[in-house]
Amino acid sequence: MKNAKPKTKTGTAPAPGRRSARPRSAYTPDEIREIFRRFSIQRPEPKGELEHVNPFTLVVAVALSAQATDAGVNKATRALFAVADTPEKMLALGEDRVRDYIKTIGLFRNKAKNVIALSRKLVDEFGGEVPRSREELVTLPGVGRKTANVVLSMAFGQATMAVDTHIFRIANRICLAPGKTPDEVEAQLMRIVPDDYLYHAHHWLILHGRYVCKARKPDCERCVIADICKSPEKSCDIPAPLVELPPQAVAAAQ
């Protein structure tokens, strides 16, 4: 039996060696299941909104999307992927020409270097194929954990939780999976999201954050979980009608 730890007074620092309690979800398992059940009815087959034609172009698109919008990345990569949809073709194109294609995207100079470097590594170490493990994916230049999770999900059908700015914001705003870092939020979401909803969960949360629970001001009147939501920011307790939305107008992966 562990020794009882002394309580700290309000406003004082925790005792040496004591860890602060990890924030927990404000929702019961039944409430969490209901949240994702509604998302599944609203968007039965959610899709990522980055256009790509194969795992390689997906890796490149996601790497380019850091500090950029999906729409902005799509606009730049349509022409790029038309001429370079494999790492070999990207290397043949060269850094200068890649930079010209993506110059409308933020941080385009460094991103062009990364695209060429990751293409070189794919050719030299992976036979030109995108690896199927997170551990190998994060060794590619410009590829972090979030990018790797997106690729594992969208290209290889693995259930992952890619925590971008939308998911990080929502997880904390509505107290679903509070965390100080994306890794903390990811770990908690992976624990609490029901297994049968996990594969699509990150897309549902991203799209909800992009179109409803927006950064500047949540559009609570359009929210299908307004009655369940425990956010102190919410302005409405009446959920929006639970109807299937029209198919997303995004390019499908081939």
The residues that are catalytic are 146, 164
- H helix runs in the chain, sequence order: 29-42, 55-64, 70-83, 87-93, 95-101, 108-126, 134-137, 145-154, 165-173, 182-192, 195-211
Query: Closest by alpha carbon to 171, among 25, 21, 22, 20?
Result: 25
Cα gap 195→171, rounded to integer Å:
18
Cα gap 161→81, rounded to integer Å:
26
Asked if 153 contacts 199 with a C-beta cutoff of 8 angstroms, the reply is yes
Cα gap 115→138, rounded to integer Å:
14
Cα gap 219→234, rounded to integer Å:
9
Buried b (16+ CB within 10 A) or exposed e, 89-107: ebbebebeebbebbeebee
Query: Closest by alpha carbon to 98, among 115, 117, 78?
Result: 115
Query: Closest by alpha carbon to 35, among 174, 146, 188, 191?
Result: 174
